[in-house]
Amino acid sequence: MKRFKIWALLALALWAATAAQARSLDEVQKSGKIVIATEGQFPPFNYFQGAKLSGFEIEVAELVAKKMGLGVEWKALGFDALLAGLRQDRWDLVIASHGVTEERTRAVTFTAPHYCSGGAIVSLDPAIRTVADLNGKLVSVQTGTTYLENVRKLSGVKEVKNFPQDTDARSALVSRRVDAWVTDKFVAAIAINANPGAGMKLGDFVFIERIAAAVAKGNQSLAQGYNKALAEAMTDGSYAALSKKYFNEDVRCK
Ligand code: ARG
């Protein structure tokens, strides 16, 4: 029995020593750069302009990092891999339009929100505008998103088709494989403007959400350092300038 306890303790110590440990604010600052993961397929928030990551969130994160005295090393991955990688300490922070939900809050620590928005209905049929209009309809959404979660809750919807990328969910609508696409309101507005010939129309919100970056669960020092710098950007006009550039309005949570 005694021997068993010793082995159990040793095993535990070994596990603790090898388990991925999130880098604290101090450690990140000592290294001079923060490793940030995003998706890169969600314009205008995070997308590729040629080989370069661009978008509102990319610029917000770079602005915040600069105020923290840090350079940024970017990683781009599938949406599904992003929050899981925080637990494995593969990157320090994720910024990819994640809505703050109870379920996600159990797995990661969210920062203060960098914008407020919601999932909205997009359709080619002017008769499909409201949640009630989705009754008996096929709806496309991106896998792993709050759009999927919230559309699933609508009992009248005939079927929710999910796609690894939001742009594929959009294509499904444009090619009439579904009746409606549910996505972020600003993503929808920009897709509609960029493809005037497609005939997409913006309908009502299905739900609203606060969008924030995330760090590994319990990495309070890094979250606080980020929040302080974000708050500065929100008061000194630099956040407002970025928001105006991308949306022609201020998208911060009111
Ligand atoms: N706001 C939605 C969510 O919280 C969608 C985010 C999608 N982000 C992306 N980079 N594709 O799940």
CA of 105 to the centre of ligand 1 (A): 15
Q: Across residues 149-156, what is the average pLDDT?
A: 97
Report the alpha-carbon distance of residue 95 to residue 38 in Å, rounded.
5
> Does 228 score more than 70 pLDDT?
yes
Ligand 1, atom 5, lies closest to the CA of: 145
The model carries a pTM of: 0.92
166 C-beta closer than 6 A to ligand 1 = yes
Give 218's pLDDT tier (boundaries 50, 70, 90): very high
CA of 116 to the centre of ligand 1 (A): 12
pLDDT of residue 32: 98
Ligand 1, atom 12, lies closest to the CA of: 145
pLDDT of residue 5: 67
pLDDT of residue 20: 67
Q: Across residues 182-191, what is the average pLDDT?
A: 98
Report CA-CA distances (Å) from 32 to 201, 209, 246.
Answer: 45, 33, 29
Give 21's pLDDT tier (boundaries 50, 70, 90): confident
Give the SS3 label for residue 42. Answer: strand
pLDDT of residue 70: 98
* Position in ligand 1 atom list of the atom nearest CA 99: 4
Question: 118-209: which CATH topology?
Answer: D-Maltodextrin-Binding Protein; domain 2 (3.40.190)
CATH number of 19-115+211-247: 3.40.190.10
Whether 19-115+211-247 shares its CATH topology with 118-209 is answered: yes
* Position in ligand 1 atom list of the atom nearest CA 117: 1
Give the residue with greater pLDDT, 1 vs 42: 42
CA of 97 to the centre of ligand 1 (A): 5
185 C-beta closer than 6 A to ligand 1 = no
CA of 152 to the centre of ligand 1 (A): 16
pLDDT digits (tens, 9 = 90+) for 107-124: 999 999 999 999 999 999
pLDDT of residue 139: 98
CA of 29 to the centre of ligand 1 (A): 28
pLDDT digits (tens, 9 = 90+) for 70-89: 999 999 999 999 999 999 99
- Least Cα distance to 174 among 197, 205, 145 occurs for 197
The pair of three-digit structure tokens given for residue 128, joined into one six-digit string: 């499909």
Residue boundaries of the structural domains of the chain: 19-115+211-247, 118-209
